[in-house]
């Protein structure tokens, strides 16, 4: 069992402290594609670290749609902001996108090592703060109209080219933007009609109106 020492959580840790952390009673867990690793409503009583593979935090809805809160690619700490919360029940499912492995250790054990290692404690507090900031940004996105969510996402994806190749399927993009697939397809058609873009499956060609809306020029 090897911990991912390049993870920001372990940045600046001395060799002696590494050895102490390595000797903690870590448990190894192997997961399969589509497996629910952690289920919403369950109490988060261990610190989990995904060491290989990819997962996603999702909100299942009553109508069968899935909304993606966050993509989680190894190595990554799971739900750090929840571990020491007064109510530490998971609000989301953690689902495996690919097969992989995770390590987890009991909350009390982690609490003890945080008390003994100042650098680790500071790194963990930074991890919690960064996680809360990310969640805040995602919740702000959720409050926007669907058209604005999509346009903002595309503006973040745009680099030097007027052409964007979506890194995920339309179904997964809909989940990421907290909408149904049908609603997202309607938005794409409307934005095409209004002159913002042209869509060919996963290929999006930005049009002049998009550039005017976001104050960018071709080639920037």
Higher pLDDT, 167 or 53: 53
Give 143: exposed, middle or buried? Use CB within 10 Å, 0-12, 13-18, 19+: exposed
Check residue 71 and give left, alpha or beta (phi > 0: left; psi -120 to 50: alpha).
Answer: beta
Question: What is the CATH classification number for the domain harbouring 126?
Answer: 2.60.120.10
> What total number of domains does the chain contain?
2
For all residues of the chain together, what is the average pLDDT?
88
Mean pLDDT across 70-95: 93
Higher pLDDT, 27 or 69: 27
The answer on pLDDT for 121 being more than 50 is: yes
Confidence band of 72 (pLDDT split at 50, 70, 90): very high
Cβ contact 100:52 at 8 Å: yes
Residue 205, in any domain of the structure: yes
Confidence band of 11 (pLDDT split at 50, 70, 90): very high
Query: Percent of the chain having pLDDT more than 70?
Result: 93
- pTM, entire model: 0.72
Question: What is the CATH classification number for the domain harbouring 154?
Answer: 1.10.10.10
Last-in-domain residue among 122, 143, 164? 143
Do 81 and 107 lie in one domain? The reply is yes
pLDDT digits (tens, 9 = 90+) for 150-204: 988 888 887 777 889 998 888 888 878 878 889 899 999 999 999 999 998 889 9
Mean pLDDT across 5-33: 96
- Crossing angle, helix 146-157 and helix 181-193, to 10 degrees? 80
């Amino acid at each position: 069992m090897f911990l991912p020492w390049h993870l920001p959580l372990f940045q600046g840790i001395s060799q002696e402290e590494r050895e102490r952390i390595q000797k903690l009673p870590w448990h190894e867990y192997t997961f399969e594609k589509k497996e629910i690793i952690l289920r919403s409503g369950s109490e988060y009583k261990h610190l989990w670290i995904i060491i290989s593979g990819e997962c996603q935090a999702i909100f299942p809805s009553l109508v069968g749609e899935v909304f993606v809160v966050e993509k989680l690619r190894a190595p990554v700490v799971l739900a750090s902001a929840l571990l020491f919360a007064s109510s530490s029940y998971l609000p989301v499912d953690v689902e495996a996108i690919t097969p992989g492995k995770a390590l987890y250790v009991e909350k009390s054990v982690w609490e003890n090592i945080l008390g003994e290692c100042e650098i680790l404690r500071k790194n963990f507090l930074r991890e919690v703060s960064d996680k809360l900031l990310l969640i805040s940004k995602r919740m702000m996105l959720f409050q926007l109209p669907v058209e604005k969510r999509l346009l903002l996402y595309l503006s973040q994806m745009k680099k030097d080219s007027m052409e964007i190749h979506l890194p995920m399927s339309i179904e997964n993009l809909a989940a990421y933007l907290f909408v149904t697939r049908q609603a997202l397809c309607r938005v794409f058609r409307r934005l095409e009609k209004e002159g913002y873009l042209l869509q060919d499956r996963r290929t999006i060609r930005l049009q002049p109106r998009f550039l005017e809306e976001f104050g960018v020029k071709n080639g920037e």
